Chains A and B, each alone.
Chain A
Amino acid sequence: MDTVNIKINGVSYDVPAGSTILEAAHSVGIEIPTLCYLKEINAIGACRICMVEVKGAKSLVTACVYPVSEGMEVVTNSEKVMASRKTNLELLLSTHDQNCLSCVRSTDCELQKLCRDYGVEGRRFTGSREFYDIDDSSVHMIRDNNKCILCRRCVAVCSANQAVGVIGPTERGFATHIACAFEAPLAESPCVHCGQCITVCPTGALTEKDDTAKVWAALQDPAKYVVVQPAPSVRATLGEAFGMPIGTNVEGKMVAALRRLGFDKVFDTDTGADFTIMEEATEFVQRVKNGGALPMITSCSPGWVKFCETYYPEMIPNLSSCKSPQQMFGALTKTYYAQKMGLDPHDVVCVSVMPCTAKKFEIGRQDQSAAGDGIPDVDISITTRELARMIQRAGLRFDQLPDEDFDPALGESTGASVIFGATGGVMEAALRTAVELVTGESAPAVDYEAVRGTQGIKEAAYQVGGLTLNVCVASGLSNCDKVLKAVQSGEKHYDFIEFMACPGGCVNGGGQPTQPGSVRNFVDLKALRAQALYHEDAGKPVRKSHENPVLKKVYEEFLGQPGGEKAHHILHTSYVPREKNY
Chain B
Amino acid sequence: MRRFSTVPFAGTKQQEQQLRAWLEEHKQMPGVTMPALQKAQEIYGYLPIEVQRIVADVLGRPLAEVYGISTFYAQFSLCPKGAYKISVCLGTACYVKGSGKIYEQLQEKLGITGGECTADGKFSLDACRCIGACGLAPVMTINDDVYGRLTGDELDEILAKY
Give A contacts to B, CB under 8 Å: 132-133, 159, 164-172, 179-183, 189, 582
Instruction: Please name all residues of chain B whose beta carbon is closer than 8 Å to the beta carbon of A169 when the two chains form the complex.
Output: 68, 72
Check: B4 CB closer than 8 A to any chain A CB.
yes
**Bound Cα distance from A135 to B63, whole angstroms:** 19
**A377 nearest CB across to chain B (Å):** 33
Determine the residue in chain B with the shortest Cβ distance to A171: B71
* Contact across chains for B63 and A582 when beta carbons are under 8 A apart: yes
**A485 nearest CB across to chain B (Å):** 11
Check: B96 CB closer than 8 A to any chain A CB.
no
**B49 nearest CB across to chain A (Å):** 5
Chain B residues 54 to 77 lying within 8 A of chain A, measured CB to CB, are: 61-68, 71-72
Interface of A is mostly: loop
**Bound Cα distance from A132 to B71, whole angstroms:** 17
**B57 nearest CB across to chain A (Å):** 9
* Contact across chains for B67 and A181 when beta carbons are under 8 A apart: yes
* Contact across chains for B52 and A181 when beta carbons are under 8 A apart: yes
* Contact across chains for B65 and A165 when beta carbons are under 8 A apart: yes
* Contact across chains for A182 and B68 when beta carbons are under 8 A apart: no
Which residue among B49, B65, B71 has the maximum number of chain A CB atoms within 10 Å of its CB? B71
User: Which one, B4, B52, B61, B71, contacts A170 given CB within 8 A?
Assistant: B71
* Contact across chains for A159 and B49 when beta carbons are under 8 A apart: no
A171-B65 contact, Cβ under 8 Å, with A181-B52, A182-B49: no
Instruction: Please name all residues of chain B whose beta carbon is closer than 8 Å to the beta carbon of A168 when the two chains form the complex.
Output: 62, 64-65, 67-68
A582-B2 contact, Cβ under 8 Å, with A170-B71, A181-B52, A182-B49: no
**Bound Cα distance from A132 to B1, whole angstroms:** 8
User: Which one, B4, B49, B64, B71, contacts A172 given CB within 8 A?
Assistant: B71
* Contact across chains for A181 and B72 when beta carbons are under 8 A apart: no
**A145 nearest CB across to chain B (Å):** 11
* Contact across chains for A183 and B64 when beta carbons are under 8 A apart: no
Which residue among B1, B61, B63, B64 has the maximum number of chain A CB atoms within 10 Å of its CB? B64
* Contact across chains for A182 and B62 when beta carbons are under 8 A apart: no
Task: Give 26 pairs: A residue, B residue, CB < 8 Å, sorted on A.
Answer: A132-B1, A133-B1, A159-B62, A159-B65, A164-B62, A165-B62, A165-B64, A166-B62, A166-B64, A168-B62, A168-B65, A168-B68, A169-B68, A169-B72, A170-B64, A170-B67, A170-B68, A172-B71, A172-B72, A179-B64, A181-B52, A181-B67, A182-B49, A182-B63, A189-B64, A582-B64
**Bound Cα distance from A164 to B65, whole angstroms:** 11
* Contact across chains for A183 and B1 when beta carbons are under 8 A apart: yes
Apart from A164-B62, A181-B64, A182-B4: 7 A-B pairs, beta carbons within 8 A: A165-B65, A166-B62, A168-B65, A168-B67, A170-B67, A179-B64, A582-B64
Determine the residue in chain B with the shortest Cβ distance to A182: B49
B 2-29 binary contact with A (CB < 8 Å = 1; else 0) = 1010000000000000000000000000
**A415 nearest CB across to chain B (Å):** 40
Which A-B residue pairs are the 3 nearest by beta carbons?
A165-B62, A168-B64, A181-B63
B 90-116 binary contact with A (CB < 8 Å = 1; else 0) = 000000000000000000000000000
**Bound Cα distance from A171 to B74, whole angstroms:** 9
**A73 nearest CB across to chain B (Å):** 36
User: Which one, B61, B65, B67, B72, contacts A182 given CB within 8 A?
Assistant: B67
Determine the residue in chain A with the shortest Cβ distance to B78: A182
**B33 nearest CB across to chain A (Å):** 11
**Bound Cα distance from A159 to B60, whole angstroms:** 12
Instruction: Please name all residues of chain B whose beta carbon is closer than 8 Å to the beta carbon of A170 when the two chains form the complex.
Output: 64, 67-68, 71-72
**Bound Cα distance from A182 to B66, whole angstroms:** 10
* Contact across chains for B64 and A171 when beta carbons are under 8 A apart: no
Determine the residue in chain A with the shortest Cβ distance to B3: A183
**Bound Cα distance from A376 to B68, whole angstroms:** 39
A181-B66 contact, Cβ under 8 Å, with A170-B71, A171-B72, A172-B71: yes
**A500 nearest CB across to chain B (Å):** 21
**Bound Cα distance from A582 to B49, whole angstroms:** 9
**A191 nearest CB across to chain B (Å):** 10
Instruction: Please name all residues of chain B whose beta carbon is closer than 8 Å to the beta carbon of A167 when the two chains form the complex.
Output: 64
Determine the residue in chain B with the shortest Cβ distance to A167: B64
Instruction: Please name all residues of chain A whose beta carbon is closer than 8 Å to the beta carbon of B65 when the two chains form the complex.
Output: 159, 165, 168
Chain B residues 122 to 144 lying within 8 A of chain A, measured CB to CB, are: none
**Bound Cα distance from A136 to B13, whole angstroms:** 38
**Bound Cα distance from A256 to B71, whole angstroms:** 53
**Bound Cα distance from A172 to B67, whole angstroms:** 12
Determine the residue in chain B with the shortest Cβ distance to A164: B62
